[in-house]
Amino acid sequence: MKEDTAQTAPLPGGVVALLVLVVLAGGAAFLAGVSGSAELSLRAWQIYLVNYVFWTGVTAAGVVLVGIWQVTNSNWGKAFQGVAVAGAGFFPAALLLFLLLIAAGEKLFPWMRETKPHREVWLQPAFVFSRNAVALLVFFVLAGAVVYYRLRPVAAVNGVSPERRAAEQARAGRVIARLAPVLFIVYALVFSLVGFDLVMALDPHWVSTLFGGYIFFGALYAGLAWLAVVAVLFFRRGAAAGLLAPHFLHPVGKLMFGFCMFHGMLFFSQYLPIWYGNLPEEIEFVVVRTHEEPWAWFSLAFLFASLVLPFIILISRPVKKNPRGLLVAALIVLTGMWLDKFVLVVPSLWHAHEVPLGWLEAAITAGFAALVLLCYWGFARFFPLVHYQPEEITSHH
């Protein structure tokens, strides 16, 4: 099976320069925020955490999807494997950005000031940061191994016979099939830990055993939407445009539709027992976000953007087969899942009446998004985003 090895960067030079400027502006805004007043510093750190959890989960999900496609023998997934593994380009930055979180200290993590008696051991600062750093590193190394074996046959082209390439492809598939189940388990454990330690622990009184699953599956849902966005934006021209054919896009749309319903089920499986149980240590977390201004409107926007609107849009078969329709649905999902992280993190820390959304939050969020795109661009300079030509993928089932 022949593979496309064109080492073309998918972004024009002017766009790359603009992205660099946006990253620099976001970094400058963050530094201005953390060095400012206590209120401004809190705003900078909390939006930093929102974006860190969101974008790290989104990029990690791409490699997990490659493992899923390999284990399930999903031939249609070959069309998007190059874009999916490109998320690994963000992993080194994600590890460095996590280390920067340690500098936030008590400004961001209230459990560093006061911890409930039964959480004292678990929430020791050194223990929290070291276990999360190690957990993320383990996941990145394991995901990196999957990326290596996925790209190895792509790199083995010049001077290699077709038979040798086919044998290399088969070997890589067997290795990934062995690594993938371990990757799934590690992914679930690591991002559950991130959810428990970096998000749930911000509220000293709230506990949910389902929260870890809600976080890692939400990251997978957002990661699939991001995959659709990047594929539609980067595959619009040249031979790769054939990968946006209806029979390649339709499975992505169907999978996103299924994830939409399952994520909604996870949300209500967590919300309803807390609401009807009416336990004081649990219900306050829900009441603040669903019945108090201004958070109630943000929670409603999150539900519409992550569940209601994607369900209505993606229930249409033609929309799932249309690049523009799928792009719109995916952007709505990403907006909803970003709002999800915003609503989970910020009300636990911010107790003023007005919503902390302004130039600072916009600049830092744009900086994170631009950094992720630059990492994809940097990855694509060395490895192709298109691994297969459309005509080489014989089946889309």
Give the residue among 23, 102, 334 at the shortest CA–CA distance from 342. 334
pLDDT at site 276: 80
pLDDT of 2 over the 50 cut: no
The predicted-structure confidence for 130-170, as pLDDT tens digits, reads as follows 999 999 999 999 999 999 888 877 765 555 566 676 777 77
- pTM equals 0.90
User: Per-residue pLDDT for 395 more than 60?
Assistant: no
Q: In the structure encoding, which two tokens stand for residue 384, read together?
A: 């192709």
Tell me the per-residue pLDDT of 120-134, one tens digit each, with 9 for 90 and over.
Answer: 778 888 899 999 999
pLDDT greater than 70 at residue 88 = yes
Identify the band that residue 198 occupies on the pLDDT scale cut at 50, 70 and 90: very high
Mean pLDDT for the chain?
85
Alpha helix (H) ranges present in 159-308? 162-194, 211-234, 246-277, 280-290, 295-303
Q: Say which residue, 57 or 175, is predicted with more confidence.
A: 57
Instruction: Please compute the mean of the pLDDT values over residues 210-230 and round it to a whole number.
Output: 92
Average pLDDT over residues 166-177: 79
Handedness of CA 372, 375, 381, 387 (dihedral sign): negative
Q: Give the percent of the chain with pLDDT over 70.
A: 89
Token output for 133: 């750093």
> 280-290 vs 246-277: helix axis angle to the nearest 10?
130
Q: Which of 255, 270, 257, 147 is nearest to 215 (CA)?
A: 270
Tell me: the pLDDT tens digits for 259-316? Answer: 999 999 988 888 888 878 777 777 888 888 888 888 889 999 999 999 999 999 999 9
CA distances from 262 to 84, 308, 311 (A): 21, 12, 11
Query: Which of 34-43, 104-113, 278-287 ranks highest by mean pLDDT?
Result: 34-43
Query: What residues have CB less than 8 Å from 319, skipping those under 6 apart?
Result: 253, 313, 325, 326, 329
Return the pLDDT at 161. 63
3-state secondary structure of 395: coil
Tell me the chain's radius of gyration from C-alpha atoms. Answer: 21
